[in-house]
Amino acid sequence: MATVGTRSTQGAWELGARAGYAASGLLHVLIGVLAAQLALGSSGGSADEQGAFATIADSPFGAVVLWFSVVAFVALAAWQAAAALSGAAGEMSDRVKAGAKAVVYLALAVTAYSVVQGASSGGQTESLTARLMQSTGGRLLLGAVGVGVVVVGVYHVYKGLTKKFLEDLHRLPAGTAGRAARNAGIVGYAAKGVALVIVGVLFVVAAATANPQEASGLDGALQALRDAPAGPVLLLLVALGLMAFGAYCGVRARFGRL
């Protein structure tokens, strides 16, 4: 009976973790839509997690979807944390990555919760950045965070172009669906990597110039891309890539390894 209970509990957590990947897919699709609107000159919501959750909140049954996202992201964060702490993730580098993912998914859960409660974390982030700018150590820390984000972005591009993401899947769907999923992973990882590199560069620039306004998040990075030469076209491509990454997350929710 204890074994059955344990298996039942594990099955529930696995279902929750897979739901987390599905929620992440929806989130990235919405960010991609907001980024496309930004590229086309629309003054829609912020093209980041906060803006995507706000878009959900304004839709029919938005509160239900947000609460589902909170629970799903917490479940996925707990699964990743357990894998990191127990060693189930694999080697030490894999355990570190699992721990970092747990932090990211928990942060998404907090952001979704803040939106469903009518709060916003944007001002708190700007305040933290401003405080870090007040000391040399803080600017060094902010610069180190920026470098770390750049490294993660470069790895995303590498993971997409080399199809390394296929290792995260048990298998691909058969036929055309499988080819579409593989292409979505290639394009999606590359596009998300580009966006992360821009975010990281902005943090490094902010640390170097002691200007907290430069340390913007994803929305600021996409706006910076839009303002670059040929920016709207490049931003539209990144937006489509983020939508593709969202579609891949949906595939991972069903076929991914946990």
pLDDT class of 3 with cuts at 50, 70, 90: very low
pLDDT attached to residue 2: 37
Q: How many residues does the chain have?
A: 258
Q: Residue 1: what pLDDT?
A: 36
Q: What is the pLDDT of residues 166-213, one digit of tens each?
A: 999 988 888 888 999 999 999 999 999 999 999 899 888 888 887 766
More confidently predicted of 62 and 22:
22
Query: How wide is the angle at C-alpha 240 spanned by C-alphas 238 and 246, nearest 5°?
Result: 105
Question: Residue 119's CB: how many other CB atoms inside 10 A?
Answer: 12
pLDDT surpasses 90 at 136:
no
pTM of the shown model? 0.85
Q: What is the pLDDT of residues 73-106, one digit of tens each?
A: 999 999 999 999 988 888 888 899 899 999 999 9
* Predicted local confidence at residue 5, as pLDDT: 45
Taking 90 as the threshold, does the pLDDT of residue 240 lie above it? Answer: yes
Whether 146 shows a pLDDT value over 70: the answer reads: yes
Q: Mean of the per-residue pLDDT values for the chain?
A: 86
Distance in angstroms between the alpha carbons of the first and the last residue of the chain: 25
Give the model's pLDDT for residue 65. 93
